[in-house]
Every structure is written in C-alpha cells, then in structure tokens.
C-alpha cells in the first residue's frame, strides 16, 4: 500500500491544524491510515512543487489538505503536475485528480465539515476497494504539557518503533491529542512500549489513554465516585457548564452552575466578602477561593470549581494584565487556587481557562 497525506499550511513549526486532524482521523477510523504524513509550508512554492512531483511517482494515492483561501493556488500547481485533463470534479472545497496510477484528493483543512464529508463519501470508498490492510489506533490526551517536550517524545517514538507506526498530533487550547496508528503486523509488545514511553514522558499532564474529552472523563469519574459538582464562573461565562452538560448523563452529577459576572452577584450568590473585593479585587486568588467556598457552604456539592479573570481584549480599572486568571477547585476538606497568565485573544484565553478548570477538577477528584 502506497499512500500519503500532505498538509500544506502557513506554519510548519506547530502541530497540524485541527481541520486537517479531523480529516486524517476520519481515514484512520475507517481503517485507512496513511503510510506517510508530510507537512509543507504554503509560502515555499519550490518545496510544494518538488513534493507534488515526488509523490506523483512514489505513491498510488495522495490526499492533499490546504487552506480554503489557498485552494486555487494549490489546485493550479496540482494541474501543472497531474495534467489539465486529469480533474474529475468534486464539490466546493474538495476535488479529485487522477494521472495514470496516481489519484490525488484535494481537500480544505479549515472547513472540517466539508473535508470529512468528502473523505467519507468519495475518498474512503475508493480506499477500501484498493487497500485491504486493516489499521488500528491508540489515543492519548494530555493537558498543559510543554509543546517542545511532546514533540521530542514523538521523535523518540519514531526512532524507537522502526517506522512501523504513525503519530498524528493536534494541539488546541493547551490540550494535546495524540493518535498512534499501526497495522495488524505491529506486535502488541511494541505498541505497549510506545504507549508506556508517552505515559511516562507526559506524566501528570496525561489524563486519558483513549479518545475521551476532559468533560467526559470528569463526568464519568464523578459518577464512579458518586459525587456532585457545582460551578461559579465569572470570566468563563458559563463555558465550563456548557462543556459539562454536553455529556450524556451529566444531570446525575452536575448540581448547579452560577455565572456570577458582576461583583454584587459574587456577594449575593456566593457570599464573597465586600472586603475581599475592595482589598484584593474581583480577579484575585482570594476572590476565587471565596467563590468556591460559597458553593461548598450550600452543602449541595462535593466538588466546587470557580473561575475569575480578565479575558480582554483590554484590561479593566484594576489595570491587571489581560490573560490573568485564577481557578479554584476544592472540596470541603481543601480548596486549591491556581494562577495562570494565558496568551492569545479573548476566545483563546477563555477556552484555555475552561480546559484547565476541567483538568484540575479531574485531578482533584482522582485524589478523593
């Protein structure tokens, strides 16, 4: 089997973009993984040209993913390589090209819905007719790991497995999702060794050896522990609650969520003292602590999560830096407050805080 996936994106020094991850993951889920994955910078026309010519002669099937705004440019280079008469048509954002023994599928990576649909309806039926080797996968998820360290672990695994496995890595809002793909010839002992390499290397940042999200892991553990959780959110604006209620069966363990955005709301709903707010401010470890304590004092929950921070784009009258936030997670026995300074725009800062809040709650619950 000779097939390759080429991702053409603007920055090749970061993990592949999430739209590309979704499309590649679709192939893997249907047992049609790639023998090679290449990432090419969009700005390097010479590299793109040489890559297309190389895969035309080396591979039977090519899946090429690029940004929608670059589709016309990339499609032109594909036609230069594969010939003007080779375009078989497709839909907006996706198309199929053939030249002799080589078939190329061009899909957009920033419209995952279109890319995944085209992969399922057009690409995969042809893949499954052509290839009979069955692929399997193992998933790992980590939160807050150092990106450089994760990439070092991947390179170490690639040198360890003798080229028998593929590693698909995506990172979003400081969460790493790693898919290890392998065919039926890979010994279980080798797979176990590779998984152990990542588990040991990721340490406490690893939270799942499957494809379960943070909210799914937390809800499942709450059920196992027979505990209930309550939320007090300020700058995350109900984002944690949204994630929890997206999980089926969350009503069994999710007691309540308060969106205490205003200072008066923090006082009236949670019992945060006026002294704390005037002395330390709404964005402070003391306020986060009292928000969580207010939830626990109701006697209706076993685990409390509270968030307060500045998502931007500008600071408030406190003049604290944008991205500063405090996350409190606790039980009746102990409340811990964590301080973070996140980079990015308003959405990135908020989503990172939501991820960390869920992760910290999961870690706290595992200790109970």
Same domain for 254 and 181: no
Which residues, at least 6 apart from 299, have a Cβ–Cβ distance to it below 8 Å? none
Same domain for 150 and 287: no
CATH of the domain at 318: 3.90.950.20
Same domain for 330 and 226: yes
Same domain for 339 and 326: yes
Count CB neighbours of 30 within 10 A. 16
- pLDDT tens-digit profile, the chain (368 residues): 578 899 988 777 767 777 788 888 888 777 777 888 888 888 888 888 888 888 888 888 899 988 888 888 888 888 888 775 566 666 566 778 777 678 888 888 777 788 888 888 888 887 777 765 567 889 999 999 999 999 999 999 999 998 888 898 989 999 999 999 887 788 999 999 999 999 999 999 999 999 999 999 999 999 999 999 999 999 999 999 999 999 999 999 999 999 999 999 999 999 999 999 999 999 999 999 999 999 999 999 999 999 999 998 888 778 899 999 999 999 999 999 999 999 999 999 999 999 999 999 999 999 88
Of 98, 133, 168, which closes a domain?
133
Residues linked to residue 169 through DSSP beta bridges, in sequence order: 178
Same domain for 176 and 96: no
Same domain for 143 and 115: no
Of 188, 211, 234, which closes a domain?
211
Q: Are 309 and 357 in contact (CB under 8 A)?
A: no
Q: So what's the pLDDT on residue 122? A: 84
Q: So what's the pLDDT on residue 42? A: 84
CATH of the domain at 88: 3.40.980.10
Q: So what's the pLDDT on residue 140? A: 97
Same domain for 140 and 128: no
Q: Are 305 and 232 in contact (CB under 8 A)?
A: yes
Same domain for 143 and 92: no
Same domain for 148 and 101: no
Of 94, 117, 133, which closes a domain?
133
Same domain for 348 and 221: yes
Q: So what's the pLDDT on residue 257? A: 97
pTM (whole model) above 0.85: no
Domain residue limits at 142: 134-211
How remote is the C-alpha of 19 from its chain's centroid?
11
CATH of the domain at 158: 3.30.70.600
Nearest one of 78, 73, 80 to 43, comparing CA atoms: 73
Same domain for 160 and 300: no
Total tally of structural domains belonging to the chain = 3
Same domain for 238 and 126: no
């Amino acid at each position: 089997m000779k097939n390759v996936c080429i991702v053409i994106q603007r920055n090749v020094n970061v993990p592949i973009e999430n739209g590309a991850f979704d499309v590649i993951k679709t192939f893997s889920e249907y047992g049609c993984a790639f023998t090679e994955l290449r990432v090419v910078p969009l700005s390097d026309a010479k590299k793109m040209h040489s890559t297309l010519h190389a895969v035309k002669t080396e591979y039977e099937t090519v899946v090429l993913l690029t940004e929608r705004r670059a589709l016309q440019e990339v499609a032109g280079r594909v036609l230069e390589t594969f010939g003007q008469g080779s375009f078989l048509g497709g839909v907006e954002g996706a198309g199929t090209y053939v030249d002799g023994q080589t078939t190329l599928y061009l899909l957009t990576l920033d419209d995952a819905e279109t890319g995944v649909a085209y992969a399922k309806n057009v690409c995969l039926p042809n893949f499954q007719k052509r290839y009979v080797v069955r692929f399997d996968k193992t998933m790992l998820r980590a939160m807050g790991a150092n990106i450089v360290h994760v990439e070092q672990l991947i390179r170490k695994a690639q040198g360890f497995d003798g080229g028998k496995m593929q590693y698909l890595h995506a990172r979003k809002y400081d969460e790493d999702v790693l898919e290890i793909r392998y065919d039926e010839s890979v010994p279980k002992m080798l797979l176990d060794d590779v998984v152990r390499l990542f588990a040991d290397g990721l340490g406490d940042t690893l939270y799942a050896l499957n494809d379960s999200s943070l909210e799914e892991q937390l809800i499942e553990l709450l059920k196992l522990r027979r505990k209930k959780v309550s939320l007090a959110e300020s700058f995350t604006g109900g984002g944690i609650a949204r994630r929890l209620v997206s999980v089926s069966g969350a009503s069994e363990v999710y007691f309540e969520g308060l969106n205490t955005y205003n200072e008066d709301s923090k006082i009236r709903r949670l019992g945060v003292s006026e002294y704390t707010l005037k002395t330390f401010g709404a964005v402070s470890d003391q306020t986060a602590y009292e928000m969580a304590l207010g939830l626990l004092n109701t006697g209706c929950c076993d685990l409390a999560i509270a968030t307060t921070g500045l998502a931007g784009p500008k600071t408030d009258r406190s003049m604290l830096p944008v991205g500063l936030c405090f996350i409190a997670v606790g039980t009746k026995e102990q409340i811990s407050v964590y301080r973070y300074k996140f980079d990015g725009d308003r959405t990135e800062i908020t989503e990172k805080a939501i991820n960390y809040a869920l992760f910290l709650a999961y870690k706290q619950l595992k200790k109970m």
